[in-house]
Structure 1
Amino acid sequence: MWDIEKRIRRLEDRADLNDMVVRYFLAVDDDDYLALAGIFAEASEFSASGFPGASGREAIVESLRASRRHMGATVHTPDYALFDFQSDDSATGTVGAHLELAIAGRTLMGAVRYRDAYARIDGGWRIVRRHMRVVHMGPWEEIGASLTTELRVRWPGMAPLPSDFPKRVD
Structure 2
Amino acid sequence: MRLDWSPVDLDLATTTTLATSPEELARQVRRLADTEAVRALNALYSVAVDDHDLATVVRCFAADGTFTRAGVTYRGHDELRPFYASMMDRYVTTLHVSHSHVLDLDTHAGSGTGLATGHGELALEGRLLMTAFRYDDRYVRLEDGRWVFAARDLRSMYVMPIEEMPHGFADSRRVRMPGAEPAQAAIPETLPTWTTYRDLL
TM over 0.5: yes
Cα drift, residue 166 of structure 1: 3.5
Question: For residue 164 of structure 1, what is the aligned residue in structure 2?
Answer: 186
2:79 is matched with which residue: 37, 56, 59? Answer: 59
Cα drift, residue 105 of structure 1: 1.4
TM score, norm. by length of structure 2? 0.79
> How many residues in Structure 1 have an aligned counterpart in Structure 2?
169
My pick for the range that moved more, 115-124 or 140-149, is: 140-149
User: Who wins on radius of gyration, i.e. which is larger?
Assistant: 2
Per-residue CA shift, 1:17-75, capped at 9, x if unaligned? 0000011000000000111122110011111126x331102311220111221111100
Structure 2 matches for 1:129-140, cutoff 5 A?
A: 129-140=151-162
Q: Are residues 4 and 87 of structure 1, via their aligned partners in 2, closer, same or farther at CA, if it must alter by over 3 Å? A: closer
Between the aligned partners of 2:155 and 2:148, the Cα distance in structure 1 is 20
Between the aligned partners of 1:142 and 1:109, the Cα distance in structure 2 is 10
Between the aligned partners of 1:145 and 1:91, the Cα distance in structure 2 is 39
Question: For residue 21 of structure 1, what is the aligned residue in structure 2?
Answer: 42
Q: Please say if 1:109 is aligned against 2:149.
A: no
Unaligned residue ranges in structure 2 (runs of 5+)? 1-18
Please state which structure has a larger fraction of its residues in strand: 1
Structure 2 matches for 1:71-150, cutoff 5 A?
A: 71-88=91-108, 89-122=110-143, 123-150=145-172
- Give the letter for the 1:66 counterpart: S
Between the aligned partners of 2:160 and 2:89, the Cα distance in structure 1 is 19
- Give the letter for the 1:36 counterpart: V
Between the aligned partners of 2:28 and 2:164, the Cα distance in structure 1 is 46
Between the aligned partners of 2:70 and 2:133, the Cα distance in structure 1 is 10
My pick for the range that moved more, 152-161 or 120-129, is: 152-161
CA contact (8 A) 1:153 1:161 kept: yes
Between the aligned partners of 1:84 and 1:42, the Cα distance in structure 2 is 22
Unaligned residue ranges in structure 1 (runs of 5+)? none
TM score, norm. by length of structure 1? 0.93
Cα drift, residue 86 of structure 1: 4.0
Please state which structure has a larger fraction of its residues in helix: 2
Per-residue CA shift, 1:110-157, capped at 9, x if unaligned? 100011100001211010101101011100111123321121111122
Q: What RMSD, in angstroms, separates the aligned Cα atoms of the two structures? A: 1.5
My pick for the range that moved more, 142-151 or 26-35, is: 142-151
- Give the letter for the 2:141 counterpart: R
* Displaced runs of 4 or more, over 6 A: none
- Give the letter for the 1:110 counterpart: T
CA contact (8 A) 2:120 2:131 kept: yes
Question: For residue 64 of structure 2, what is the aligned residue in structure 1?
Answer: 43
- Give the letter for the 1:133 counterpart: R
My pick for the range that moved more, 54-63 or 80-89, is: 80-89
* Aligned-pair identity (%): 29
- Give the letter for the 1:80 counterpart: S
Helix, strand or coil for the counterpart of 1:128?
strand
